[in-house]
Amino acid sequence: MGTDPRHHHVGHGHHAVSAPAPAPAGAGAPVANRPGASVAIHGAGIAANCCAHLLARAGVAAVRTAGERTPVPAILLSDAALALTRSVFERPDLFADRPRITHRLVAWGAAEPVQLPHGAIVLSEGDLDAALAPPPAPGATAAPGMSIHTAPPFPAGEIRRFGSRSTAAAQVGLRRDADRSVCGIEAVEAGWLFLIPSGESTAWLLCVGASAQTLLGQSRHIAPRIDGVGRISSAFETSPRMLTSLAGPDWLACGSAAVAFDPICGDGTAQAVREAILASAVIAAMRDGGDQAALRIHFESMILAAMRRHLRLCAQFYASGGDGEWWRAQLADLAEGFDWCTARLAKMPEPRYELHDFRLVARGEAS
């Protein structure tokens, strides 16, 4: 699927001397009147909480309104995602008391099952919200000049889906001899299963593709660990997807409602945090007089590049998971999405900024 252009920052080949660039729009305005001096955050969840915390740290006044979103039943937060979240909230002991997942059983495609090291903790979305409640904020003293949307309705765009994967979640019992520190993923003919232990005798089972009954009937490795299936959720969508427009003159969109990763990669929560870091840095840069148009383009291109990398990684999993009709259909959708992202990135300028300590700086000017 080619090389990601966001990883290779080469020149455009133009060497002519030009007149000095005009000052960015808003650069000469009083700080209180610039975009980014005050912000409205619409929505909830980890992306909204991260934005609220980082903006408060940057001295940007923010007001919050709730938004409609469907919570996920369980989150497997990897050690890398946990470290990133701790750094954002400046809490090195965050969730240190939670039971740990130490290994992952992988039974995928024609390969023999293997048990690999995998450090993570298991949380509910309610656990995250309760622990990461935003700090008290004085609120904006004037009408917010910018808004961040982490839940619908979004100001513009529509959701572009890169596939269609019917998914259900079920709370299941674990057999007494099942290791509670080992999660498991298994590919079967009609889809795949992901088992996440969540207690001494319980676990969450994610069923992607066919029904839970069908997938468990085809399972040789996860089904034997289960002792009874409880209530099964209604079907929901887990294919990668993103809003076709992530930024406008006075708004940004981020978080899993705007950009959703396939759970097969286990990177969705970390991606929501990374998007919130970038959104907050863009807002702060606008407040400080940065080029608003260039910052919006940078924001959108970085997230589009992240989705492109994600689709490429997903394709590797779906190419090796099985060779049936369902698996081939997922792979074709991923390839189409990869091409869509590539075409959009080709029309965007090269990135002009880098993140350093939660701030955006011009490339080549980082100290």
pLDDT at 366: 57
For 89, 202, 241, 247, 345, the CA distances from 306, given in Å and listed in that order, are 23, 34, 12, 16, 11
Q: Assign a CATH topology to domain 101-119+166-235.
A: D-Amino Acid Oxidase; Chain A, domain 2 (3.30.9)
Q: What is the mean pLDDT of residues 288-304?
A: 96
Q: What is the mean pLDDT of residues 290-316?
A: 97
N residues, the chain:
367
Q: What is the mean pLDDT of residues 2-17?
A: 33
CA distance 103 to 183: 7
CA distance 285 to 156: 23
Q: Which residue has the higher pLDDT, 4 or 46?
A: 46
pLDDT at 365: 73
Across the beta sheet with 38-42, the strand order is 61-65, 38-42, 146-149, 251-253, 247-248
Please write the tens of the pLDDT for every residue from 343-361: 999 999 998 999 998 999 9
Please write the tens of the pLDDT for every residue from 165-195: 999 999 999 999 999 999 999 999 999 999 9
Q: What is the mean pLDDT of residues 261-282?
A: 96
Task: Work out the number of other CB atoms within 10 angstroms of the CB of residue 193.
Answer: 24
For 17, 141, 314, the CA distances from 100, given in Å and listed in that order, are 58, 44, 26
pLDDT at 333: 97
* Backbone φ and ψ of 72, nearest 5°: -90, 150
pLDDT at 72: 77
pLDDT at 229: 96
| 50, 153 contact by CB (below 8 A) | no
> Any idea which of 33-47, 70-84, 236-250 has the lowest mean pLDDT?
33-47
Task: Work out the number of other CB atoms within 10 angstroms of the CB of residue 197.
Answer: 24
Please write the tens of the pLDDT for every residue from 153-167: 999 999 999 999 999
pLDDT at 20: 34
Confidence of residue 125 (pLDDT cuts 50, 70, 90): confident
Confidence of residue 38 (pLDDT cuts 50, 70, 90): confident
Cα atoms in the Cβ-side hemisphere of radius 13 Å centred on 205: 28
Pairing of strands 202-209, 100-107: unpaired
**pLDDT at residue 5 tops 90:** no
CB proximity list for 14: less than 8 A, separation 6 or greater:
none
Q: pLDDT exceeding 70 applies to what percent of the chain? A: 86
| Nearest to 216, CA basis, from 208, 66, 249 | 208
Confidence of residue 37 (pLDDT cuts 50, 70, 90): confident
**pLDDT at residue 336 tops 50:** yes
CB proximity list for 110: less than 8 A, separation 6 or greater:
none
pLDDT at 30: 38
For 34, 233, 262, 316, the CA distances from 145, given in Å and listed in that order, are 7, 40, 33, 42
> Any idea which of 83-97, 132-146, 314-328 has the lowest mean pLDDT?
132-146
Please write the tens of the pLDDT for every residue from 240-254: 999 999 999 999 999
Please write the tens of the pLDDT for every residue from 212-223: 999 999 999 999
Pairing of strands 100-107, 182-188: parallel
Please write the tens of the pLDDT for every residue from 100-124: 999 999 999 999 999 999 999 999 8
Strand ranges inside 58-176, DSSP E? 61-65, 75-78, 100-107, 114-123, 146-149, 159-161, 166-174
Strand ranges inside 244-319, DSSP E? 247-248, 251-253, 259-260
Tokens in use for 125? 């979305």
For 11, 143, 253, 310, the CA distances from 8, given in Å and listed in that order, are 10, 40, 26, 17
Domain positions in the chain are: 101-119+166-235
